[in-house]
Amino acid sequence: MAFLRKLVRSAGFRYALLYTVALVCSVAAIGWLVEKAVTDALRVQTRGHVDREISALAVEFVHGGRADLEAALAGRPTGDEARQRFAIVETDGRIVLGDPKLAAFKPSASPSAHAFDDVDRTGSGQPVIVAAQALDDGTTLIVVDDLQSIQDVRAIVKQAFTTALFASAALGLVLGLFVSGALLRRVDAVTRTAEAIIAGDFARRIATTGSGDDFDRLARTFNRMLDWISGLMNNLRQVSNDVAHDLRTPLTRLQQGLQNANRRPSTNAEYRAAVDKAVTEIDGILDIFSALLRIAQIEAGARRAGFRAIDLSLVVRTVAEAYAPAIEDGGRRLICDIDPDMRVNGDKELLTQLFSNVCENALQHTPVGATIRIELRSIDGMARASIADDGPGIPVDERDKVLRRFYRVEKSRGTTGHGLGLTLVAAVADLHGCDLEIADNAPGLRVTATFAPSVA
């Protein structure tokens, strides 16, 4: 009973009811049009019969006179059971020959040619088609055709469409209840899933039927959205844990340094050294927060509105030239292979940051004597930039993890940095819609970013 009440109040049932009303009105309108068309056609057909009949009788009078006309009428039925009835009426209204009841149909003024009239002058309530033709001897020939058959057809059409009207209304309501019930069950499934997620079951997803209908497409869209939200929440929890973990060490060092400086007598130089060390630790903490805020800004997509066509070749070449002295001074070799005039839509500053971070990562994690290769090529109309080295590389099971905030490969924990460089690279790549790949360079590591060409 509760389901039925919910069903009646549902939007699907209201729409079904609206469609049923529209269907009933359509059937009624079609029935009226059909009835009118059929009765009009039958009336025209009957009028044609009367016209032919009175014309034929008038010809008989012209050719044979009154005697031939009366002979022609004598063989025709004149009772009430006859559909067509005939009469010859004198000027004073007296019936010379034919049905006496037809005297009422004599025109007040004698017509010069036969005329038609749809009237009911007998008081029977039954309309008839009347044709009156003035004859040369002063009498009037009257032909009347009964319209009862047309009324019978009209009644049959009305009955048929009345039955169709009620049948369509009943069928519409039944189908409306059935369809509304099916829709309500699908909506209830979505509602239950949403309520379960609100209650804390974040792994719950909307089930699909496999039919590929609108509800299935909506369910898949919602499920992708839920996966995205779940990923954001997991990322938020991970960030919170990572921030707490990675900031604990510098804050602890800062606290211990200040406590030591405050606990024992020190010279001014020692105080200044303690303050300088504390400032260095605070600068490191501020760098972490600046990087986090920058990543958050990039992930929010706020800078996408400022995208324009830029020369990616110039960006990559500028980064390569900026890092060339540091790479060569560190005992490493730099090889550049950059195709000219490669243009993409993007933010020049962010793309410069992307390639700078990858170069910085290669510079920090490769040994002396390593080779760093920077390439930019056009492949299948796409701009593909890669920075590769022949250093130790990253294990396969950790290549996706290094894109997370604060994640650092175990063998790199002794180096400087806070594990946000490649995270920023991933954020910039995602903002630009490019495909970022971290792969084995056999040996070493290869970071590849593939951009769609500029549409400007």
- Is the predicted pLDDT of residue 256 greater than 70, yes or no? yes
Matching fold, domains 2-152 and 214-299: no
CATH of 302-451, one of 2.130.10.10, 3.90.1300.10, 3.40.50.1820, 3.30.565.10: 3.30.565.10
DSSP state of 254: H
The mean per-residue pLDDT over the stretch 92-116 comes to: 64
Position 265 confidence tier, pLDDT thresholds 50, 70, 90: low
The pLDDT of residue 410 = 47
Residue 201 Cα to chain centre, angstroms: 29
- Four-point Cα dihedral 160, 164, 165, 171, nearest 10: 160
Q: What's the mean pLDDT in 426-445?
A: 85
Share of the chain above pLDDT 70, in %: 80
Long-range contacts made by residues 201-210, C-beta under 8 angstroms, separation at least 24? Answer: 202/226, 202/230, 202/233, 203/230
- Tell me 213's DSSP state: S
Q: How confident is the model at residue 46 (pLDDT cuts 50, 70, 90)?
A: confident
- Assess whether pLDDT exceeds 60 at residue 258: yes
Residue type, 340: P
CA angle 322, 324, 329 (to 5 degrees): 125
Q: From 455, 453, 298, 456, select the one nearest 376 (Cα to Cα).
A: 453
DSSP for 264-291 reads S---HHHHHHHHHHHHHHHHHHHHHHHH
Whole-number Å distance between alpha carbons of 178 and 180: 5
CA nearest 245: which of 421, 415, 419? 419
Structure tokens at 421: 């460089």
**Residue 17 pLDDT grade (very low, low, confident, very high; cuts 50, 70, 90):** confident
Q: For residues 102 and 85, is the Cβ–Cβ distance under 8 A?
A: yes
Q: DSSP 3-state assignment of 230?
A: helix
Helix count and strand count (H, E) for the chain: 8, 12
Average pLDDT of the residues in 399-424: 62
Residue 401: band (very low, low, confident or very high) from pLDDT cuts 50, 70, 90: confident
Confidence of residue 417 (pLDDT cuts 50, 70, 90): low
Residue 280 or residue 384, greater confidence = 384
Per-residue pLDDT tens digits for 376-389: 998 888 889 999 99
**Has residue 120 got a pLDDT over 70?**
no
Kindly list the domain boundaries of the chain, sorted by start residue.
Answer: 2-152, 214-299, 302-451
373 pLDDT more than 70: yes
Across the chain, mean pLDDT equals 77
Report which DSSP code applies to 96: E
Residue 302: the pLDDT is 62
Strands 371-379 and 333-338: parallel
Which contiguous run of DSSP H or E holds residue 189? helix 148-198
pLDDT at residue 121, rounded to an integer = 43
Fold classification of 214-299 is: Helix Hairpins (1.10.287)
105 φ, ψ to 5°?
A: -95, 5
Between 3.30.310, 3.30.450, 1.10.3470, 1.20.1530, what CATH number should domain 2-152 receive?
3.30.450
Q: Give the other-Cβ count within 10 Å of 158's Cβ.
A: 14
Distance CA 335, CA 375 (A): 8
Predicted pLDDT at 82: 62
Contact 294, 347 (CB under 8 A): no
Phi-psi region of 331 (alpha: psi -120 to 50; beta: other; left: phi over 0): left
Amino acid type, 159: Q
Check residues 123 and 52 and name the one with the higher pLDDT.
Answer: 52
What type of residue is 298?
Answer: I
